[in-house]
Every structure is written in structure tokens, then in C-alpha cells.
Amino acid sequence: MDLDRVRASVSAYEHDPDVTTADVARLRFFEGLLELQQGRAEELARKAPYELPAGLDFVSVYRDPRQFVLGSAPVRIDAADFAQTLASVARYVTAGAGLGEQAAHAIASLDWDAVAARADLALAGADPAAFVEAVLGAPEKLGIPAEVPGGLLGTILVSALRPHLQPAAEVIAAAYSKVEDPHGYSAPLDCPVCGSPATASWVGDAAGTSGRGRKQYCATCGTQWDFDRIRCDNCGTHNEGHLHYHSVEGDPGHRILTCDECGGYERVVFQEDLRHGPLVMEVEDVVMANLDQVVRDPRFKASVTTAKATA
């Protein structure tokens, strides 16, 4: 993650008259979280650099839609290190989240050393999405009381995993960029590095494409990977007639792609329609949080401008 680009992007939104004061406050909050995550990622990368096992054909694993690289070459997550990351992320998130007294007290009194010691960190380093799902399904197994809201716990877990996974994702991206024809494969739906579902995607001037390529972005580990221009990230359909782009209130830079086949949707950034750059997916993810609320609103279908996915 490039913090200079993060700061430039947040600053551009801050000076955008169409961005509300509340959204600016949210962007600043996440900018601070990204700084914390990046600082921690650099510390962890120095302490225990990730290496791809010499005997592993990681390219085949990367390109196999049924596999992902960490599944074969996991990140080793140290319990004391993870506890430290959890504690600092929890402190930051709790301070800025405007929690009720009970929830704030429950978080503040958590013993993150005990939580990390009980957690299945082998799973966290090999299949982070499954790890988060397992913890959220039974937080009491790690000694996390029911007073800690599930949404907040999920945010803390995913945000704390990123500094541990990102250095590995960067090593894998650098190694993958050197392979012959890195763009010549059928892209997987989920992250080829950590197996998490895509967080969002962007269409624009992506490497290896003729100006209008599409890339998926994984917030869990930070990986971006090539994806078909016309395709549902959820069910994988290529059926143009079933995929529709919607833009909201004159902001064609941030669109919702819906799929009639599975009922899923994805948030997509259109680089050429952004009011300002630079395009930083970590920031765009925060900017597009509003789109999730739009999709859930029953008036969604009636209120948006719809265009075919080819537009």
C-alpha cells in the first residue's frame, strides 16, 4: 500500500464539494487505519519476510480457480504478534466508532493475548476468510463476550489480518508479475492469493489490457487481479444480457454491477469517470460504502440510471 497515494486520494475527496462532512470524517478515520496497517505491515515484513517455497508451482496454484496461493504456502502468524496487531487495531477502531458504553467496555477489557493464543492461526494464515467466519460463528471459543458487536469484531479481525497477509501478497504479486504472459489466464472469482471474495473492482487503464481492463481488489490481503470486463464476480456468468451497471446521482465514477442470474452485485470504480485521482482502491472501498446502502434500499431499482454492462 502506498500511503502517499492514499493521502493524495483522501485529500482530493476532502476538497470535493460533493462529498459530505460526514463522509470526509469517515475518510479521515480510515486514512488513519490504513496508516496503522501499513506501518504494522512494514514491521512484520522486516521481522519475518515471507518466502514462496522453492518447490511450489505457485503460478499453477494462482491460476487454478479451485485453489489460492496461501492455501499451499501459508503465512506463519505468530500469536504474540497477532495479539499486538489486534490490540492496536481494536484501540483505534473503538475510539473512532462511537460505540455504546457496554460494547466499548467489552472491547476495552478484552485480553487480546488470550484471544490470539486460542485462535487457529494456522487457518488464519492459510485461509483467512474461513478463519474470520469461524471466529464470528463462535466468538466465545476465543473468550470474546457476546457484548462485542459482531460487525465490529469482523472489522477488527479483517483489519488486523491485513498487515500480516499484505507482505506475502506483495511477494506473490512481484513473483507473479515476472511470469510469462501474466494476463493470459481465466481469472478466478475469489482472490488468487488468500481466497477471499473480491471487495470491489475497477475498470480502467490496467496493465496488460488495451486501456479498459478490469481488476478485482481484495481488501483482506491487498491483492488485485485481472478479471473479465463482462462477468459476475459472484456466480461467474458472462451473459451480457443479465449484467447491468447502475450509477447513482450523477456519479458515473462509482457504479453498481448487478447480476440477474445470482442476484449478487459488485461495486465498480470507473477510472475515466472519477472526478479526481489518484485511484486507490483502499480509499475507493470507503467512498463506495454508501453504494451498499443504496443496493439494500427497496427503492433502488426505481431510482437508478441503468445501462447495459457493455456501456
Contacts of 174 (CB under 8 A, 6+ apart): none
Nearer to Zn ion, 85 or 223 (CB): 223
In the complex, minimum distance from the CB of residue 192 to Zn ion, in angstroms, rounded to a whole number: 8
Q: Would you call 179 helix, strand, or coil by DSSP?
A: coil
* Residue numbers at the binding site for Zn ion (CB under 5 A): 191, 193-194, 196, 218, 220-221, 223, 232, 234-235, 259, 261-262, 264
In the complex, minimum distance from the CB of residue 217 to Zn ion, in angstroms, rounded to a whole number: 9
Nearer to Zn ion, 106 or 198 (CB): 198
Contact 256, 268 (CB under 8 A): yes
What does the CA dihedral 254, 287, 203, 159 come to, rounded to 10 degrees? -150
Nearer to Zn ion, 114 or 235 (CB): 235
Cα gap 250→230, rounded to integer Å:
22
Contact 110, 83 (CB under 8 A): no
In the complex, minimum distance from the CB of residue 225 to Zn ion, in angstroms, rounded to a whole number: 9
Burial class (CB in 10 A: 0-12, 13-18, 19+), 104: middle
In the complex, minimum distance from the CB of residue 75 to Zn ion, in angstroms, rounded to a whole number: 11
Q: Tell the residue number behind the cell numbers 481484495, with chain if given.
A: 218
Nearer to Zn ion, 117 or 235 (CB): 235
Nearer to Zn ion, 24 or 52 (CB): 52
Cα gap 125→168, rounded to integer Å:
10
In the complex, minimum distance from the CB of residue 110 to Zn ion, in angstroms, rounded to a whole number: 26
Task: State the cell numbers at 211.
Answer: 486501456
